Structure 1
């Protein structure tokens, strides 16, 4: 179930890509969902799109 304020949607993804995401998430101590959000924010930042946080820090993210 999605956290309050988060948009939930189904995502069809190649199984090999999913395995890579799982490896990255485990390495970074995140859930796969949190890893996907992190990668999307990173990609937006590289394109010059500023992300505005709308809620509290995601529970799946490690403390910085």
Structure 2
């Protein structure tokens, strides 16, 4: 059984108003296949996608070099939310 489509359409689980969503830049990145495979394995070890691993490493390098803009928000959290202990 399918749930009814929300305001965001069928490709998204939850509707997020455009004013609350920050646009993300898309870039084409060409990597040596061996570098990509190593990156993908590393990302898998840390339960991230290759894209999230690249962003994580770029942010870390920028922060280490003192070049991370102060207005940069935290990395978006992906996946299932953490379980909450029962209250009572």
- TM-score, normalised by the number of residues in structure 1: 0.75
**CA RMSD, aligned part only?**
2.4
Paired residues in the alignment total 58
Which segments of 5 or more consecutive residues in structure 2 lack a partner in the other structure? Answer: 1-20, 83-88
**Structure of greater Rg:** 2
Higher helix proportion (structure 1 or 2) = 1
Runs (4+) off by over 3 Å: none
Deviations 1:26-52 (Å, cap 9, x if unpaired)?
000000000000000010011012341
Gaps of 5+ in 1: none
Q: Which has the higher contact order (CA 8 A, sep 6+)?
A: 1
